[in-house]
Amino acid sequence: MAKPKPVDLICCHGKNGEVMPIRIRMQDEDGQYQAYAIKEYKDISHRGVRMMPDGVFVTEKTLVFECKISVFGCEKQVHLYSNDPYLSWQMTLLN
């Protein structure tokens, strides 16, 4: 199970209140910031209380996005999580 890492997230808010993740930034093992554009995303929020495949426990209020990013030319799948009041974000790497 992956331990969630804190990330910075740039997102857009649609006119109907939807959140659209655009870019993430996180520190690597050397302390350097790395930024990645989100190529695709799927909102999998508000589906009840459950344990995600990566071991993260979510509630009805947790925002959850399944995203694809490109890391050194390789496509990676990640989950982004934020709990109410949605001020901080965490990420797990799925592959």
Which pLDDT score, from 0 to 100, does residue 86 have?
85
Contact 7, 90 (CB under 8 A): yes
pLDDT at position 1, please?
A: 65
Residue numbers in the chain where pLDDT is lower than 70: 1-2
pLDDT value at residue 41 = 97
Please give the single-letter amino acid code of residue 59: T
Q: Which residue has the tokens 């995203």?
A: 67
Distances in whole angstroms, Cα of residue 90 to Cα of each of 15, 16, 73: 25, 24, 23
The domain segmentation of the chain, as residue ranges, is: 5-93
Angle, CA 1 vertex, CA 48 and CA 63 arms, to 5°? 30
CB atoms within 10 A of CB 41: 18
pTM over 0.85: yes
Q: In which residue are the tokens 């496509």 written?
A: 75
